[in-house]
A = this chain, B = another copy of it.
Amino acid sequence: MAGTDKSKDAPAGGGAGDSGPAVILVDPQLGENIGMVARAMLNCGLTELRLVRPRDGWPNEAAVKASSGADRVVEGARLFDTTGEAVADLNRLYATTARPRGMVTRVVTPRQAAAEIHAASAEGAHIGLLFGPERSGLVNDDIALADTVLEVPLNPAFASLNLAQAVLIVGYELYQTQMETAPERLESGGALPAPKAEMVNFFERLERHLDETGFLYPPEKRPGMVRNIRALFQRANFTEAELRTLHGIVSALSSGRGKGEG
């Protein structure tokens, strides 16, 4: 469902509707930044890159280099003379800009946009994400081509992102939305938490040792102490292998005890 299949099957820059939204860079300056955008795109399973008037010409060796292996995104990029031509085939267009200036515009966060884009893509819409040049951002005429403005909620005292970072945040949100909400999981190579019976077995053994040493004394405090000890060990959801380790530790620590009598 997620990234692997997508990135394997999607044509790089082929304009097919199923490659996720197209990323359109208007007047990008450094080839290096275009390459870093390509890398961020592929991180998020996006492959369709469109360039409007890249300043340093195209193709651009610095872009390939900076893409860190996302060559096919760079090489599949398509060139346009105007923003209008670059977005002509798109059904919906989001303009990413820090602040829409003097315009009445619908503004959403990347997270809201991701949900919308996911739904619209499912209905066959082809969608574009428009990014302006590094320093100046999008001009109003380009913003006016978009139906929605995308604003990344960040520290308002220091909100300026570089181009690749802005693309990454938007792509990241798109990728998260594609996936079902992944539950917290334990990376254990498939090992399950030990059955509770084995936990209890371990507890009883531990408590027997602790009784022998007088640790669980006096008797009226014993139930509470036992509960606390069990609670702290339960929390970690030990696997069976880990439980064996704990048994080993108890054995090792207790190993010498009683020798004096033996």
- Chain B residues contacting A159 (CB-CB under 8 Å) are 43
Is A109 part of the contact surface with B, judged by Cβ < 8 Å?
Answer: yes
Is A237 part of the contact surface with B, judged by Cβ < 8 Å?
Answer: yes
Tell me, rounded to whole Å, the shortest Cβ–Cβ distance linking A228 to chain B.
Answer: 6
Is A179 part of the contact surface with B, judged by Cβ < 8 Å?
Answer: yes
Is A59 part of the contact surface with B, judged by Cβ < 8 Å?
Answer: no
Listed stretches A75-83, A85-93, A123-131, A251-259; interface member: A251-259
- Chain B residues contacting A7 (CB-CB under 8 Å) are 155, 157-158
- Chain B residues contacting A213 (CB-CB under 8 Å) are 252-253, 255-256
Known contacts A107-B185, A154-B3, A187-B149; decide if A245 and B228 are in contact (CB<8 Å). yes
Q: Decide: B158 and A69 in contact? CB cutoff 8 A.
A: yes
Copies per complex of this chain = 2
Q: Name A215's closest neighbour in chain B (CB-CB).
A: B252
Per-residue contact bits, chain A 162-194, to B (CB 8 Å; 1 contact, 0 not): 101100110010011001001011111101000
- Chain B residues contacting A157 (CB-CB under 8 Å) are 3-4, 7-8
Which of B112, B182, B256 is within 8 Å of A256, CB to CB?
Answer: B256
Q: Name A99's closest neighbour in chain B (CB-CB).
A: B187
Q: Give 23 CB contacts A-B under 8 Å.
A: A2-B156, A4-B157, A40-B165, A42-B158, A43-B159, A43-B161, A45-B155, A99-B187, A100-B187, A103-B187, A105-B186, A149-B187, A153-B179, A161-B168, A165-B168, A186-B235, A210-B253, A215-B248, A232-B246, A235-B236, A250-B253, A255-B257, A256-B259
